Amino acid sequence: MAELEGLEFGKSDFVLLDEVTMEQFMENLKLRFDKGRIYTYIGEVVVSVNPYRQMDIYGKETIEAYRGRELYENPPHLFAVSDAAYKAMKRRAKDTCIVISGESGAGKTEASKYIMQYIAAITNPSQRAEVESVKNVLLKSNCVLEAFGNAKTNRNDNSSRFGKYMDINFNFNGDPTGGHINNYLLEKSRVVQQQDGERNFHSFYQLLRGGSDEMLKSFNIQNDPAAYVYTKEGAAIATSNNDRSSHKAVMNALEVIGFSKEEINSIYQILASILHLGNVQFESDGESVQIRGLDAVNLISDLTGTDKEIVSKSLLYRTVATGGGEVIEKGHTEHEACFGRDAFAKALYERLFGWIVGRINAVIEVKDYNPVLHGKNTVIGVLDIYGFEIFDNNSFEQFCINYCNEKLQQLFIELILQQEQAEYQREGITWQHINYFNNQIIVDLVEQSHKGIISILDEACLTVGKVTDTVCLDSMDTKLAQHPHYTSRKLSPSDKSMEFKKHFRIRHYAGDVTYSVEGFLDKNKDPLFQDFKRLMYNSANPVLKEMWPDGQLSITEVTKRPLTAATLFKNSIVALVDKLACKEPYYVRCIKPNEVKSPVLFDEARCRHQVAYLGLLENVMVRRAGFAYRQHYTRFLQRYKMTCEYTWPNHLMESDKEAVEIIITQHGFQDDVAYGQTKLFVRTPRTLFTLEQERTALIPILVLFLQKVWRGALARMRCRRMRAIYAIMCCYKRYKVKAHFWEVERRFANVRTMADYGRSVEWPTPPAALSQFHNNTVMLHRRWWARQIVKNIPPSDMLEVRAKVAALTALGGERKDWGISRAWERDYLANERDCPQTSTSFIRVSKELRNKDEYSQVLFSGFCRKVNRFNKSTDRGFLVTDKYVYKLEPKKQYKVLKRLPLDSVSAHIYSSLLLTTVKGLRTLCLLLDYKGLCMSVLGV
């Protein structure tokens, strides 16, 4: 069953009605229509009411909501049945079919479109190009078939005037690989005549109003439907269809399907020739019949690629063969000429429509399919066929259509009963028989051999001599006088709703229908003179030639009478029913709520009539013959286990069946149910409603409980995640510390053997946690390194080392360019960076002194400040070489003021230098240099 909706929307399944009566059925149907719920279930049958407005219930979100779901999981919808058919086909590799029925204007064609749309949307997830191509052709074929097979009627602006059955082939993956379309009983009489307020087929108006100027000019037609006999009746009739945009869509669809430009042009050439054919007029002078004006004939000849003379001759004469093999030409009367012209126009259109369907089939049919290589090929059939029709004037077409519905209704009842009975037997439940209307007697009335109406019609058509519709009616009155479902005015003289020698009535399962016998024989014979067939076969147009293969026979070869229209239709319907009977059926029953296409009006009397002839009430009765509701134990338990303490959240019984019995017993429903092998059967809907109400009351409590549990679970997950994060952080920190230790150990492993004891080794960057430890380690290494240096100094040189240390201490905290952080460059006065303005002069003086005093090395040069005994200071230059010490005057181009031999410089000079200028310490350090060790200690 469907997921129960709120009570304000009524019952989502008619099986759940308290009482199965027409009043309750109609009340529930009207309530759901008023609330915008156009779909309702009868078990697995969908009842659809045409809303006459656009509804936002077919988009991608809706498709995803029903994809892969069971019928009971969502509110009733066309997509649910489509998905059920697709799943049955895919899971069980079983052919299925969806039968869409209802009267004209009930929404059958739109339902078939949505079914195709859904199947296309849920297949081919990998977007394979060949599968997408098949889907596009299948979808686009609807547009083409509507244009050539639909028309505006008094009941529907887009009424299907033919029956369509489409098989969609699927591979083992469930992707569409092709299809096949069968068409039934095209209403070709509409080509030449329409009822008041109706139009011809859409294709004519689309060509006249949507065709390009170039196309119309090439066909010699005007863009005015009123200019042609066959379309003028519908030229001024308003319709919701836009012929211009529809023509563009059809042209595009033909190209997508695979029609060539030549084929498309031929299709519209044939339409144009039919229009011109309708304008051919005849006149009689009493002895012979002539064509009034040959312009139309010439245009027909050009468009069909035939000879003008032969066209005229075919319209005016009929070639017949006598018993002795002699061929003669028999001239038509004016009536016969008009009749032959119209028959030719109808046959042209019928052959064109059949050729288009065949051409589409050639594109989408599965070719070279090998079950061994490709797996089993399964099928979903979609049947969109005309519904039961009762008009003011019911003719041969309505007779055939209503017979078709009788056959489908018979199949529907039989399959539903068979399914129900098979399920009860399979589950071990006693079947309770229910009385229902068996329409087999009506089917026999129409199709029974030798006694049925079709046989009587065929017999009349084959009888030699003048046989009229009235004679045929008399024959039916004679042979069917005792039949309970047949009557006429002759058999019921007091019934003035029928006329003598004109009407007969059949009591169908959907109601009594009065048929007018006028035209029955002509439409059943469907006469088309062989001259027209040969004319078309000899056409220069290859498309026309292909449409008329029977035209290759000469007049003497054509001896066998063709089957009548009624017999052909009966054979096709019998084949269709056999095809449907071997598939698992799903049904969509369409209902038309009113005649004025209003989205708010619900005509109860009109709908009641449709409910009656669709057999919906009988369907509900059959479904509820024993039990209103049945469900697998697992699914029932999943839905209602929260209503019992022994099954929530999980049961401890040996099987789901025992758990379900516990639920039923606790609620006291054991007398209202039966237990099958795999399903629970509930007899009355009240039991189910009680369980639903209790479930509805428990859901908020369970939701709060689940929210609490879930929030706790989320909190615990977050806590565990935080703990894990901190654990990872701690481990990572320990790893970074250990890695630092390992790196230090690796880099300083061999410092004892290095010449500089690791002084040149670069320390790795420590993690933040080891910054203080790193500083201490560096200090320890420097102390160790210094000890390694100092321990090699002789004791006699330690005084000098201490002096150097004292100098280092004195320099601490002074300017950076004085301190030890500055690189030792010795010859500062020659350095352009230190004295950019005087370096050139000093270098010149230094060279002169080198040449004069012959010293080999400058030990130090720099500025110093001389302080005399009066505490006055003067800037001087100071130059120390390996032989002399020079005092220079910077202001006089570094003139030598004093020169002393280096050996004569005594210790008191060092003291005075130290007291005179801090810079003198560099000189002191230089002079006390011991094999470069002091410079290393001082870091310069």
Active-site amino acid positions: 104-105, 109, 156, 159-160, 387, 389
What whole-number distance in Å separates Cα of residue 334 and Cα of residue 312? 14
What whole-number distance in Å separates Cα of residue 757 and Cα of residue 768? 27
Antiparallel, parallel or unpaired: β 163-170 and 176-184:
antiparallel
Antiparallel, parallel or unpaired: β 317-321 and 150-151:
unpaired
Antiparallel, parallel or unpaired: β 45-49 and 96-101:
unpaired
104 annotated ligand-binding residue: yes
Q: How far is CA 578 from CA 166, 581, 795, in A?
A: 15, 5, 125
Local structure of 515: helix, strand or coil = strand
The token duo for 287 is 């002895």
Is the peptide bond prior to 649 cis by the omega test (within 30 degrees of 0)?
A: yes
Buried b (16+ CB within 10 A) or exposed e, 551-563: beeebeeeeeeee
The token duo for 827 is 């010859």
105 annotated ligand-binding residue: yes
Is residue 48 within 8 Å of 38, Cβ to Cβ?
Answer: yes
Q: Indicate the DSSP class of residue 35.
A: T
Beta-carbon contacts of residue 298 (< 8 Å; ≥ 6 apart) = 308
Antiparallel, parallel or unpaired: β 45-49 and 584-591:
parallel
106 annotated ligand-binding residue: yes
102 annotated ligand-binding residue: yes
What whole-number distance in Å separates Cα of residue 703 and Cα of residue 469? 74
Would you put residue 813 in left (φ > 0), alpha (ψ -120 to 50) or beta?
A: left
Is residue 199 within 8 Å of 234, Cβ to Cβ?
Answer: yes
108 annotated ligand-binding residue: yes
Buried b (16+ CB within 10 A) or exposed e, 219-238: bebeeebeebbbbebbbebe
Q: Which residue has the tokens 């019992």?
A: 644
Is residue 289 within 8 Å of 338, Cβ to Cβ?
Answer: no
Q: Indicate the DSSP class of residue 333.
A: P
The token duo for 673 is 């149910």
Q: How many CB atoms lie within 10 A of CB 513?
A: 19
Beta sheet of 858-867, edge-to-edge order? 858-867, 873-881, 884-889, 895-901
Cα of first residue to Cα of last residue in the chain, in angstroms, is: 96
Beta-carbon contacts of residue 465 (< 8 Å; ≥ 6 apart) = none
Residue numbers belonging to the annotated binding site for ATP: 102-109
- The binding site comprises 102-109
